[in-house]
Structure 1
């Protein structure tokens, strides 16, 4: 299996799991979503916003690639530009869900347009402090999906503690059967 197929699969898994997670969150009221539960970003809503912020930051950095695929990262290029990893861009699910859906669809089309050369390219970027980095783009893209999975796991645990079951979350279920 080539990298393009693998990353397309990860982008679909990411999109579908984010939708499933938000469906689970819809079962809670705004007070429960915003309540500090001792998670790294405090609340369920805080963690959802962290994922939104981090994805926007990474997608903005990806635009530096010399690839036609970056034209698909439109949503991340729109204001506002996040400045902190704990920034609350969407104070409720009604505002968060459409933004999350647009970012996830952009990531799906972006991954469909990437080439083998893109995965091997060097991504030059600066972090929030302005420190420069040069890393293999494919590895950084894998980090984005791994980061999503990590924090979705935290949210899934918090939801489970509140009696909300989002179902099976293993990527294995998104991998097609071999011929």
Structure 2
């Protein structure tokens, strides 16, 4: 399996897990979603918002890569988050809708990645304005790893709220080899 095939799998995995997390979180009242549970982004809503913020920042950067702009054109139109802890959404339903939309963009973007694209570099500025140039494929890997990291936190936060989301492994989505 090529690296681009792995990224397609990770895009579907992220979409699948985000939907499971959102469906689980939808069972909680607003007070539970916003309760400070001592996590880095405080609450379930804070962490869900951070995932949208992080994804938006990276997707806007990826949209500047010459071979990625098509599927990410609509993402470029989104306002740029000001801070990593910014609450873009206070309303859970609005966050759920946007997350679903964003995941579809990610799946479409990952589907058009090529191995040669991943060998390129990407120039961008971090959230502090510091310029950076890094290998595109490594940045894509970071993008998916970042999502998995925070979804692990969300799994714990939801468990603290009494909801077990079940299996979170990538394994169920890995095709059987024959």
TM-score, normalised with respect to structure 1: 0.96
Contact 2:63-2:73 within 8 A present in 1 as well: no
1:38 and 2:38 aligned:
yes
Look up the match of 2:159: 160
Look up the match of 1:94: 93
1:123 and 2:108 aligned:
no
Matches of 1:23 and 1:98, distance apart in 2: 12
Cα deviation, 1:85-131, whole Å, max 9, x if unaligned, reads 00000112111011111111111010111111111110110011110
Matches of 1:98 and 1:70, distance apart in 2: 23
Cα deviation, 1:130-156, whole Å, max 9, x if unaligned, reads 101111111111111111111111110
Matches of 1:79 and 1:15, distance apart in 2: 20
Map of 1:1-179 to 2, 5 A cutoff?
Answer: 1-67=1-67, 69-179=68-178
**Runs in 1 of length 4+ with deviation above 4 angstroms?**
none
TM-score, normalised with respect to structure 2: 0.97
- C-alpha displacement at 1:168, in angstroms? 0.3
- C-alpha displacement at 1:70, in angstroms? 2.2
Contact 1:58-1:144 within 8 A present in 2 as well: yes
Matches of 1:19 and 1:75, distance apart in 2: 21
More displaced, 75-84 or 5-14?
Answer: 75-84
- C-alpha displacement at 1:172, in angstroms? 1.4
Structure 1: gaps (5+ residues): none
Structure 2: gaps (5+ residues): none
Count of matched residue pairs: 178
